[in-house]
Amino acid sequence: MANQRQYTSGEIIIRENDIGETAFVIEKGRVRVTKNRGGRTVFLAELGPGGTIGEMSMIDEKPRSATVTALGDTILREVHRNEFSEALRRETDAAIRLLRVIFERLREADARIAELASYVQPEDDPSTDTTESSYQGLYALLEPKTREAEELLPEETILIKHFPYRIGRPSSDPLVHNDLSLACKRPYQISRHHISIIRSEGRIGVMDRGSARGSAVDGKLLGGESGSKEPIFFEASGGILRLGDKHSQIKFHVGIKRHVKLAPH
């Protein structure tokens, strides 16, 4: 039987390098995931209801890879490894959902770690806030630039408010999970797992998810056989995203929107 646990703002749920045999599903509230890198606390993710944390402890017995802290009052459902193992034997769907989460997390973590390797926060500015909470008013707007792109979008424009925002081709594969599925025709320019639009350090960018033909961000190649394996970020005004190789006409304009709260009169 899964246990319910409650945490208050600032309380640590999981501590990096501790040993644990439990995972948590967020039922209410939000949590922040951080990692220590050279004595500096680096933001990795912020998760809300429905998100899972600590799921790798269900697979291996290695120490926790990150610290998870409650943001405000948070309620979690705790699942122990032995309970999870028994559930997997009874519920194939649960196993598939977990594997899908783990695969996506690994893709996103690889790209995030590569990005952090080249990012240096100014040492003389300890007040610099690089947490995701600082950028809650930063959104992306996906608009078609070509007829081919327009035909694929389910709406005229798409406002992206949660990140990562996963884009790929529809598939019956139960391990495929996309926020936006684009049903392109053969020869496929879009892979089942193609890209994620991400928000990091106050910027909007694109991360490859293992695409076959790759993409381009303002002409810079991403993924595929010869493109960058690290995220590529747009300028402050946004830019052009092409899905597929140099012959593809599936092109979008990615606009950057910043919501500014007005002070009350």
Residue 48: per-residue pLDDT: 86
Question: Do the domains at 3-90 and 132-258 have one common CATH topology?
Answer: no
CATH architecture of 3-90: Sandwich (2.60)
Residue 55: per-residue pLDDT: 77
Residue 205 above 60 pLDDT? Answer: yes
Dihedral sign from CA coordinates of 152, 154, 155, 159:
negative
CATH class for the domain made up of 132-258: mainly beta
The percentage of the chain sitting over the pLDDT mark of 90, rounded to a whole number, equals 43
Residue 195 above 80 pLDDT? Answer: yes
Give residue 109's pLDDT band: very low, low, confident or very high (50, 70, 90).
low
What DSSP assignment string belongs to 94-143?
A: HHHHHHHHHHHHHHHHHHHHHHHHT----TT-TT---SGGGGTTEEEEEE
Q: Where are the domains of the chain?
A: 3-90, 132-258
pLDDT digits (tens, 9 = 90+) for 45-87: 788 887 888 877 666 667 888 899 999 999 998 888 777 667 6
Mean pLDDT check: name the lowest of 84-88, 129-133, 215-219. Answer: 129-133
